Amino acid sequence: MFGFLKKKLKEGIEKITKKVEKEEQVQERTKEKLQKPKKVAKEKPKEVKKSLFKIGKRIIRESDIKDVLWDLQISLLESDVALETAEKICNDLKKNLVGKEIKKKDLEIIIKNTLKNSLKEILDQKQIDILAEVKKKKPFLILFLGFNGAGKTTAIARVAHLLKSRGLSVNMAAGDTWRAAAINQLEKHGAILKVPVIKHDYGADSAAVIYDAVEHAKAREIDVVLADTAGRSHTNKNLMNELEKICRVNKPDMKILVVDSLTGNDSVEQAKAFESSVGIDGIIMTKMDVNEKGGAAISVVHAIKKPILYIGVGQDYKDLEKFDADKIIKNLLE
């Protein structure tokens, strides 16, 4: 997980450090030349360059690191980090380095700390504890949103497994009525997990299926309703209209966007579309076990400022890991 991004960040840190050290050597040589007494000193060049030669310290100029920051930005883009996020990370570095007096021995630490703070600022959104939230209302309705193939059905089954393991009762609503396969798939999970699945026929009104699942939960005192929704209809506008109707009719208590981390930059546009249409409370980022780049996770959070709640790290029901921003950042920069 994140191996590619980690490698690119490491390369970036090395490049910046080396470039600054190289500039320092060039300036040291210039300094020596300037300090040699000249027969006819027309001006006082020492004064002009003075600020660059504080003893034991070094003032970094923008021109020293411009090209290495550009290289870092390209590396971030190659790691699926979206342009605006890559720019934020590089601008933060520029702000923290340019014009600052930095001792050579501190340089790498300052670069790492700046990267750490930028990533923390992006990833550390206010967390939601699903296990605590679902106890606040009965039945608690969670809507799962996201494009086809993102891992929505799998995520629903995983959350059902998690809630059941904590002693909570669950039912699932087959709200993706656009795909017969989606209903079958949810039924298969339901059979394995021993969780009732509320379904209508293929092509039925999704809002009505979810409404029925909530009624079913009320009648049986079920704690949580996990509702699937369509991931595609004939146009995205229709999909968003359908989701808006589901929300109007059923007033979900939580809306979770399921994002395939392998979709790279596309995932940012998807997240923005769902957020602006129905609003998102949190994200489940899937397929992190097979994703080396990792930039999509950072970019999606930066784009919609909503927390990643869980990450999918395999094919089993138990392969749902609570998202820990500090752990991910530590792993990226160690």
Nearest distance in Å: CB 327, ligand GDP: 17
Binding mask 196-235 for ligand GDP (x = CB under 6 A): -----------------------------------x----
Q: Which is nearer to ligand GDP, 174 or 217 (CB)?
A: 174
Determine, following the binding rule CB under 6 A, whether residue 289 of this chain makes contact with ligand GDP: yes
CB-CB contact of 142 with 256 (8 Å): yes
Binding part of the chain for ligand GDP, among 15-23, 129-137, 263-271, 311-319 by CB under 6 A, reads 311-319
**E strand or H helix at 278, and its extent?**
none
Determine, following the binding rule CB under 6 A, whether residue 184 of this chain makes contact with ligand GDP: no
Q: Give the binding-site size for ligand GDP (rule: CB under 6 A).
A: 18
Give the CA distances from residue 75 to residues 17, 83, 115, 172, in Å, rounded to whole numbers and listed in that order: 16, 11, 14, 42
CB-CB contact of 53 with 27 (8 Å): yes
Q: Would you tell me how many other CB atoms lie within 10 Å of the CB of residue 225?
A: 27
- The residue from 296, 301, 312, 317 that contacts ligand GDP (CB under 6 A) is 312
Q: Which is nearer to ligand GDP, 46 or 188 (CB)?
A: 188
CB within 8 Å of 309: residues ≥ 6 apart? 127, 128, 130, 256, 282, 283, 284, 322, 323
CB within 8 Å of 255: residues ≥ 6 apart? 142, 143, 145, 247, 278, 279, 280, 281
Binding part of the chain for ligand GDP, among 37-45, 53-61, 102-110, 309-317 by CB under 6 A, reads 309-317
- The residue from 88, 161, 255, 287 that contacts ligand GDP (CB under 6 A) is 287
Q: How far apart are CA 105 and CA 58, in angstroms?
A: 11
Scanning residues 143 to 172, which ones bind ligand GDP (CB under 6 A)? 146, 148-154
- The residue from 290, 316, 318, 326 that contacts ligand GDP (CB under 6 A) is 290
Q: Which is nearer to ligand GDP, 224 or 285 (CB)?
A: 285
Nearest residue to ligand GDP, using CB? 312
Q: How far apart are CA 233 and CA 240, in angstroms?
A: 9
Q: Is 146 left (phi over 0), alpha (psi -120 to 50) or beta?
A: left
Q: Which is nearer to ligand GDP, 106 or 316 (CB)?
A: 316
Q: How far apart are CA 221 and CA 216, in angstroms?
A: 8
Give the CA distances from residue 317 to residues 103, 156, 163, 259, in Å, rounded to whole numbers and listed in that order: 50, 10, 12, 17
Nearest distance in Å: CB 299, ligand GDP: 18
Q: Which is nearer to ligand GDP, 175 or 295 (CB)?
A: 175
Amino acid at 160: A
Q: How far apart are CA 203 and CA 314, in angstroms?
A: 31
Binding part of the chain for ligand GDP, among 40-48, 78-86, 201-209, 284-292 by CB under 6 A, reads 284-292
Q: Which is nearer to ligand GDP, 125 or 286 (CB)?
A: 286
Which residues are at the interface with ligand GDP (CB under 6 A)?
A: 146, 148-154, 185, 231, 286-287, 289-290, 312-315
